[in-house]
C-alpha cells in the first residue's frame, strides 16, 4: 500500500482539527467519523503544534503590537503622623509600662525590649 505524501497528511489533519473545532464535537466523535484512532489524533496534534512553534519562532514579527504591562513603578514613602514624626507601634503592658516601637525595628530588638519591659510592668523579674 502506498503512503500518502507528508504534505497531504498534514493538510488532512489540519482540516480534521479545524472541522472538530468548528463543529464543537468530541475527539472520539471526530475520530470515529474520520476513521482514525484517537492516539493518531493526539500524536498529530502534538506534531503540528510543535512545528507551528518552530515556524513562529523563525517567522518575522509582523503586525504585532507591543503589550503594555498593567504594572506601574511605585515608590514607597513611609507614613508620617500629623506632626511629621514617623508612626510607632504602641504596646501597653499590664501596669504602667507603654513601649513605643518605631517602624522598621527588627524582631530581635522588639523581643528584647518587650521582655525587659514586662519585668518592669510586673514589679520585678518575670517568673518565666
* Threshold 0.85, pTM exceeds: no
Instruction: Identify whether 71 is part of a domain.
Output: no
- Assess whether pLDDT exceeds 80 at residue 121: no
Which residues touch 38 (CB under 8 Å, ≥6 apart)?
Answer: 27, 28, 31
Averaged pLDDT of the chain: 75
Domain count, the chain: 2
> 10 and 52 share a domain?
yes
In a domain, 32, yes or no: yes
Long-range Cβ contact pairs of 64-72 (< 8 A, separation 24 or more) = none
Mean pLDDT is lowest, of 18-22, 36-40, 93-97, for: 93-97
Digit-coded pLDDT (tens) for 58-73 = 444 455 566 777 776 7
Mean pLDDT across the stretch 11-31?
90
In this predicted model, which residue has the larger pLDDT, 71 or 102? 102
pLDDT at residue 39 in the model: 93
For residues 52 and 13, state if they share a domain: yes
According to DSSP, the β-strands at 98-102 and 88-92 are antiparallel
Confidence of residue 56 (pLDDT cuts 50, 70, 90): very low
Domain encompassing residue 15 = 6-57
Residue 37 CB partners (closer than 8 Å, separation 6+): 31
Residue 92 is placed in which grid cell? 501597653
63 in a structural domain? no
Would 127 be classed as within a structural domain? no
Please check whether residue 79 lies inside any domain of the structure. Answer: no
104, part of any domain: yes
Amino acid at each position: 500500500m502506498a503512503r500518502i505524501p507528508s504534505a497531504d497528511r498534514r493538510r488532512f489533519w489540519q482540516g480534521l482539527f479545524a472541522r472538530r473545532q468548528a463543529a464543537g464535537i468530541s475527539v472520539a466523535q471526530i475520530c470515529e467519523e474520520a476513521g482514525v484512532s484517537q492516539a493518531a489524533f493526539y500524536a498529530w496534534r502534538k506534531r503540528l503544534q510543535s512545528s507551528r512553534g518552530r515556524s513562529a519562532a523563525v517567522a518575522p514579527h509582523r503586525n504585532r503590537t507591543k503589550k503594555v504591562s498593567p504594572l506601574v513603578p511605585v515608590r514607597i514613602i513611609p507614613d508620617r503622623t500629623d506632626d511629621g514624626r514617623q508612626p510607632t507601634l504602641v504596646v501597653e503592658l499590664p501596669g504602667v509600662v507603654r513601649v513605643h516601637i518605631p517602624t522598621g525595628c527588627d524582631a530581635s530588638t522588639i523581643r528584647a525590649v518587650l521582655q525587659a519591659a514586662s519585668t518592669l510592668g510586673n514589679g520585678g523579674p518575670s517568673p518565666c
